[in-house]
Amino acid sequence: MKPVYCLSVVAFTLIAGAFLAGCGGPSGSGGTGGAAPIELLNVSYDPTRELYQEFNTAFAKQWKEKTGQEVTIRQSHGGSGKQARAVIDGLEADVVTLALAYDIDAIAEKSKLVAPDWRTRLRHNSAPYTSTIVFLVRKGNPKNIHDWADLVQPGIEVITPNPKTSGGARWNYLAAWGWVLQKELDDLAKLKDPSQAEAVKQAQDKARAFVSTLYHNVPVLDSGARASTTTFTQRGIGDVLLAWENEAFLCLNEAGGDAIELVVPSATILAEPPVALVDGVVDRRGTRAVAQAYLENLYSPEGQRIAARHYYRPVEPDKADPQDAARFPKVSLFTIDDAFGGWTDAQKTHFSDGGVFDQIYKPGK
Amino acid sequence: MAGTVRLRVSPTKAPQAVRDPAWVRVLLIAITLLFLGLFLLLPLVSVFYEALRGGVRLYFASLINADAMTAVRLTLLTAGIAVPCNLVFGLAAAWALAKFEFRGKGTLITLIDLPFAVSPVVSGLVFVLLFGAGGWFGPWLTANNLHIIFAVPGVVLATMFVTFPFVARELIPLMQEQGSEEEQAALVLGAGGWKTFWHVTLPNIKWALLYGVILCNARAMGEFGAVSVVSGHIRGRTNTMPLHVEILYNEYNFQAAFAVASLLALLALVTLAAKTLVEWRVRANMGQDESAETPTPPGGGMTL
């Protein structure tokens, strides 16, 4: 019965192949010298890929020089909310570098892996770099888009991801909302002034109407910032993309500047993507020292320089190369604390189930 | 080797009266070819075109890249574990279902089909619920420093789950059709269980089995949804080839993305070639049986 042997040979080859591949797989990071080699996992959000690719190499080199220990940093990227969810579900991140504080709060609250006071453990609210929300339009700006008000004109297609899953999308949404508040109230301090309650209410109503109209102009809600960028640049859908400033600069570089151009609105939000040590994981894995050094290194001159080179606004700009720092357009920035009283409130009011976003966004309309 | 349903049509010999007019045939063939070209051939060609656009050297450079190699290795490892496991399981299940009568048989068949019926995302989430940090076994796994989800075992498990029915589904109808007379004859003639299996059952089902294995393998290598949920997307660790393609694409690294995609496409082509070969062998085998056992009736048409 020859074919039977044939079959067993096939099966054997498959199993043998599996074993060989298995042996080759996990032992990839071997190597000797200094202390035992160590591995860190940095769970991050979408647009930081290029930034951390460079930063990881620089940090590994520096750590090796300082301690003689080999360190490999693994990266995982995705929508900020999705990544936080994965860490809660057991993805063993030594450090998280996410798009917004709320996502790290969620990890702290739901899994207790991060200490609740994480925001104060590093300088500048644990945000070593900041960014903001800007517009990308087609070359020559054919639809004449210069500020937030132009986005709600009829016939304008706005591309922005889904605030339910994407951190960047939440910043986009809040930037639009905050711009209306700023315009109506002049001074965001009035939001906390009881004597201005009437004016504040009117401004909030206007903001709600504005954002509602804006989302009627959104043809597709992608799940992450990078997916939206691809929709706009590769698939050619939409007239304007609301994007992270760093993502916008990256796009301009990729597209060579002859297909799209950057538009900076009159006022926009200061986005502080925070970083945190995942205490539960580093203590279990014994990686606290190196993970702590990794995060602190983001504030070092080298870290700030790399951030600026990748179009993140360094929080200590004097450490960055002057020509890199000069690339960031001057723009009036408001913070989430000014306009919304912090992430917890903003999240609860706007993005929770049944929140304002759910009320104003009706798909297919 | 009788008992299987055979269907053979020889259109060249069909009588004039039942033939379509020439223009209908030309039109139908043209539409089919156009459709195939537009929806199958063009995308396939474009994958290779994009992959090779930067030159052959860049093409191989993006494949030799450490992360890409890990992805290839992980994909092969996953298929290498999932396929043999499902082969053994599929064979056992089909054997039990086709040769024996027992209570709950219908339920078992339905259960085997379950992975076909649920969305791959759900298949992935099931494992998160079971083995995730907050899942049923999560605390125990953490306490024992075992990693299933967001690690290689999770990827393998999800793949096994998704490819579960392929072999069994391929074998069950055939084995049911064949019945158990031959096995009974073998047993009566004094053969043991193993001997009966190797010399009677296996030769009867070998082509269907191989066909199931090929399909199973194709899906195991290409699975995206379920694996995406449980992988954690750690570069150089838990990225399979399909996940790696997506990551590269999202990094504006189109050339590398298409290079890895072309590798996947090549695997698919090899699978297709193997599948065609198997089908051809099956047909050749049947033809042999037929000419040996029963002469083909004159005039062709359909023989049952």
| pLDDT for residue B287 | 65
pLDDT for A314 equals: 94
Chain B contact set for A250 (CB, 8 A) = 252
Least confident of A214-218, B81-85, B151-155, B247-251: B247-251
Q: Using a cut of 0.80, tell me whether the model's pTM lies above it.
A: no
Query: Can you tell me the distance from the alpha carbon of B186 to that of B195, in angstroms, rounded to the nearest whole number?
Result: 9
Residues of chain A where predicted confidence (pLDDT) is lower than 50: 1-12, 14-33, 365
Task: Looking at the complex, report in whole angstroms how far the Cα of residue A327 sits from the nearest Cα belonging to chain B.
Answer: 22
pLDDT class of B8 with cuts at 50, 70, 90? low
Cα separation of A198 and A195, whole Å?
8
The beta-carbon neighbor of B77 closest among A18, A49, A227 is A18
Are residues B209 and B91 in contact, defined by beta-carbon separation less than 8 angstroms?
yes
- Using a CB–CB cut-off of 8 Å, the residues of A that contact B are 1, 3-4, 7, 10-11, 14-15, 17-19, 21-22, 24-26, 28, 41, 46, 49-50, 74-78, 86, 88-92, 110-111, 226-227, 230, 250, 254, 284
Q: Which two tokens stand for residue B134?
A: 């907050």
Nearest chain B alpha carbon to A45: B233
Return the pLDDT at A356: 92
pLDDT attached to residue A257 = 64
Which chain B residue lies closest to A92 (C-alpha atoms)? B150
Closest to B232 measured CA to CA, from A258, A4, A281, A287: A281
Q: Which amino acid is at A91?
A: L
Looking at residue A41, its pLDDT comes to 96
Chain-chain contact of B152 with A26 (C-beta, under 8 angstroms): yes
Residue B250 binned pLDDT confidence (cut-offs 50, 70, 90): confident
DSSP string, chain B: ---S------GGG--GGGSPPHHHHHHHHHHHHHHHIIIIIHHHHHHHHHHHTT-HHHHHHHHHSHHHHHHHHHHHHHHHHHHHHHHHHHHHHHHHHHH---TTHHHHHHHHHHHHHS-HHHHHHHHHHHHSTTSSSHHHHHHTT---TTSHHHHHHHHHHHHTHHHHHHHHHHHHHH-SHHHHHHHHTT--HHHHIIIIIHHHHHHHHHHHHHHHHHHHHH--HHHHHHHTTBTTTT--HHHHHHHHHHTT-HHHHHHHHHHHHHHHHHHHHHHHHHHHHHHHHHHHHHHHHSPPPTT-S---
Q: Are A226 and A46 in contact (CB under 8 A)?
A: yes
Whether residue A218 contacts residue A365, with contact meaning beta carbons closer than 8 Å, is answered with: no
Sequence letter at residue A360 = I
Q: Which pLDDT value is given to residue A107?
A: 95
Q: Is B84 on the interface with A (CB under 8 A)?
A: yes
Place of tokens 């096995």: B183
CB contacts under 8 A, B 21-80 vs A, are 66, 70, 73-74, 76-77, 79-80
Q: What is the pLDDT of residues B169-228, one digit of tens each?
A: 999 999 888 888 888 899 899 888 888 888 888 888 888 898 899 999 999 999 999 999
Helix, coil or strand: residue A267: strand
Cross-chain Cβ contact B66/A41 below 8 Å: no
**Mean pLDDT along residues B45-67:** 89
| Partner residues linked to A334 by β-bridges | A269
Task: Of A352, A98, A362, give the one whose Cα is nearest residue A216.
Answer: A362
Residue A191: the pLDDT is: 85
What would the pLDDT profile of B59-89 be if each residue is shown by its tens digit? 998 888 888 999 999 999 999 999 999 999 9
Name chain B contacts of A11, Cβ cutoff 8 Å.
Answer: 84, 87
SS3 of A166, please?
A: coil
CA–CA distance, A164 with B71 (Å, rounded to integer): 30
The beta-carbon neighbor of A74 closest among B142, B236, B249 is B236
- Cα–chain center distance at A313: 13
Phi-psi region of A93 (alpha: psi -120 to 50; beta: other; left: phi over 0): beta
Measure in Å the smallest separation between the Cα of A194 and chain B Cα atoms.
Answer: 43
Q: Say which DSSP state A350 is in.
A: I
Rounded CA-CA distance A55/A295 in Å is 11
Contact B133, A7 (CB under 8 A): no
Name A188's Cβ contacts closer than 8 Å, sequence gap at least 6: A178, A181, A182, A334, A338, A339
Provide the pLDDT for residue A222. Answer: 87
Q: Please check whether residue A82 is in contact with residue A115, taking contact to mean a CB–CB distance below 8 angstroms.
A: no
What value of ipTM does the predicted structure carry?
A: 0.72
- B76, A24: Cβ pair inside 8 Å? no
- Cβ distance A21 to B73 less than 8 Å, yes or no, reads yes
Residue of B nearest to A16 (CA): B80
Nearest CA to A352 out of A80, A221, A170 is that of: A170
Indicate left, alpha or beta for A42 from its phi (over 0: left) and psi (-120 to 50: alpha).
beta
pLDDT at A16: 47
Distance of alpha carbon B294 from alpha carbon B68, whole angstroms: 54
| Predicted pLDDT of residue B76 | 93
Tokens at A56, concatenated: 């990881």
Number of H helices, E strands in chain A: 16, 11
Over 90: is that where the pLDDT of B272 sits? no
Is the distance from CB of A281 to CB of B142 less than 8 angstroms?
Answer: no
| Amino acid residing at A310 | H
Average pLDDT over residues B121-145: 88
| A216: Cα within 13 Å, side-chain hemisphere | 13
